[in-house]
Amino acid sequence: MPDAGAPIGVFDSGVGGLTVAKEIMSQIPNERIIYFGDTARVPYGSKSKTTITGFTRQIIRFLMTQKVKALVIACNTMSAYAIDEVEKEISIPIIGVVKPGARVAAAQTKNKRIGVIATEGTIGSGMYQRFIANIDKDVLVLGKACPLFCPLVEEGMLDDPVTDEIARRYLKELMEKDIDTLIMGCTHYPLLAPTLKKIVGEKVRLVNPAYETARELKEMLSDTGMLNPDDLAKQSKGHEFYVSDLADKFRLFAAKILDDPGLTTDKVDIEKY
């Protein structure tokens, strides 16, 4: 059993999970994060459930070697496809992003019309629809897969006319259905929030599941007496970042997103796990 001073494993197919890591760092700054981004195999969004579940198991096996005390699946696709299976196989707590995102959106909608943009895998799994229906069966949930968003984010095209045009096309259908809430159901998408906001306007609220995920993590650690008692700011113990490929490209991106120019990134052969 790991102790309260142990780190938290946070993982995604690439840079998207950094939006969740950033929120965890802000809400529970004493916690140390071991981040893994599967940059060799991104994007996950159009791959099968079997493949994604296999990848998830490998990443968890790697993070367990880092003696983490809890895991956060900072990826909707892995949360939708694999969490039910993998949580039965491990002895530490694991949190995904889909349930927290569904909860916030259901609480926020006024006209009971919610849009979800996500990968093909997440939309196809119907997870957001199911979780929201469990909370309020009168809410209409409209899903739209946006497979080009993840590669655009991985390429750093966050503020670009090409991204604007693609976003406009993806969102057209949902906007015509009069949604008042839009879930960014892929952890890469909050990095496109300014572009998305420009298109949906003031009447539609964007939901980033990261905030609620970090809040749930904090509550779970607190309830189980596992919050890190050390003040990390007073020590030099930093977060650690690992990827399966292109460590330097990831490092530059992460340093910008997390505003940490000293951040380092190491490459891991994830197929070995």
Q: How far is CA 37 from CA 16, 56, 159, 167, 257, in A?
A: 8, 11, 22, 24, 14
Smallest distance from the beta carbon of 1 to ligand DGL, in angstroms? 30
**Residue with smaller CB distance to ligand DGL, 7 or 14:** 14
E strands in the chain: 8-12, 33-37, 70-73, 94-95, 113-118, 140-145, 181-184, 205-207, 240-243, 265-267
Q: Identify whether the C-beta of residue 76 lies closer than 8 Å to the C-beta of residue 122.
A: yes
**Residue with smaller CB distance to ligand DGL, 75 or 132:** 75
**Residue with smaller CB distance to ligand DGL, 150 or 200:** 150
Looking only at residues 242 through 271 of this chain, which bind ligand DGL when binding is defined by CB under 6 A?
Answer: none
Per-residue tokens: 268: 């891991």
**Residue with smaller CB distance to ligand DGL, 76 or 228:** 76
**Residue with smaller CB distance to ligand DGL, 122 or 228:** 122
Is 20 a binder of ligand DGL (CB under 6 A)? no
Q: Is 150 annotated in the active site?
A: no
Among 127, 186, 217, 243, the one annotated catalytic: 186
Q: Is 186 annotated in the active site?
A: yes
Residues 171, 95: Cα–Cα separation, whole Å: 29
Could you tell me which of 212, 215, 193, 192 has the C-alpha nearest to residue 204?
193
Across the beta sheet with 265-267, what order do the strands follow? 94-95, 70-73, 8-12, 33-37, 240-243, 265-267
Looking only at residues 42 through 81 of this chain, which bind ligand DGL when binding is defined by CB under 6 A?
Answer: 42-45, 75-77
Residues 229, 218: Cα–Cα separation, whole Å: 13
The residue sitting closest to ligand DGL, measured at its beta carbon, is 45
User: If binding means CB under 6 A, how many residues of this protein chain bind ligand DGL?
Assistant: 16
Is 100 a binder of ligand DGL (CB under 6 A)? no
Looking only at residues 150 through 179 of this chain, which bind ligand DGL when binding is defined by CB under 6 A?
Answer: 150
**What is residue 86's three-state secondary structure?**
helix
**Residue with smaller CB distance to ligand DGL, 181 or 187:** 187
Among 70, 75, 78, 146, the one annotated catalytic: 75
Looking only at residues 102 through 141 of this chain, which bind ligand DGL when binding is defined by CB under 6 A?
Answer: 119, 122
User: Which residues have C-beta within 8 Å of that of residue 266, sequence separation ≥ 6?
Assistant: 240, 241, 242, 243, 247
Strands 8-12 and 70-73: parallel
* Binding site residues, ligand DGL, CB under 6 A: 12-13, 16, 42-45, 75-77, 119, 122, 150, 186-188
| Residues classed as catalytic | 75, 186
